């Protein structure tokens, strides 16, 4: 899997919002791997989407447990805590 990362900030936003709208439990790990290639701002956009109170797929991401999830959270903790 070698999906391209868009150059345009608008296209990156569309990719993030598309992922938020369509993510399934079976591809949380591949999405997190891809998302590591995006900017911290784009990752923050995803985090804010997942944190939204009425986000229907929150459990897919929040309750997903794997080494990739832990690694992503560890490297992205500055986005989650607004530090960095």
> Whole-structure pTM over 0.85, yes or no?
no
Domain definitions of the chain by residue range: 26-81
Per-residue pLDDT tens for 12-47?
Answer: 999 999 999 999 989 988 998 898 899 989 998 998
Return the closest-CA partner of residue 69 out of 39, 35, 24.
Answer: 35
With 70 as the cut, is the pLDDT of residue 61 above it? yes
């Amino acid at each position: 899997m070698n999906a391209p990362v868009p150059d345009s900030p608008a296209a990156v936003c569309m990719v993030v919002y598309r992922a938020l709208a369509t993510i399934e439990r079976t591809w949380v790990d591949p999405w997190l791997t891809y998302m590591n290639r995006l900017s911290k701002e784009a990752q923050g956009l995803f985090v804010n989407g997942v944190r939204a109170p009425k986000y229907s797929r929150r459990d897919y991401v929040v309750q997903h447990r794997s080494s990739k999830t832990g690694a992503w959270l560890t490297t992205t903790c500055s986005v989650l805590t607004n530090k960095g």
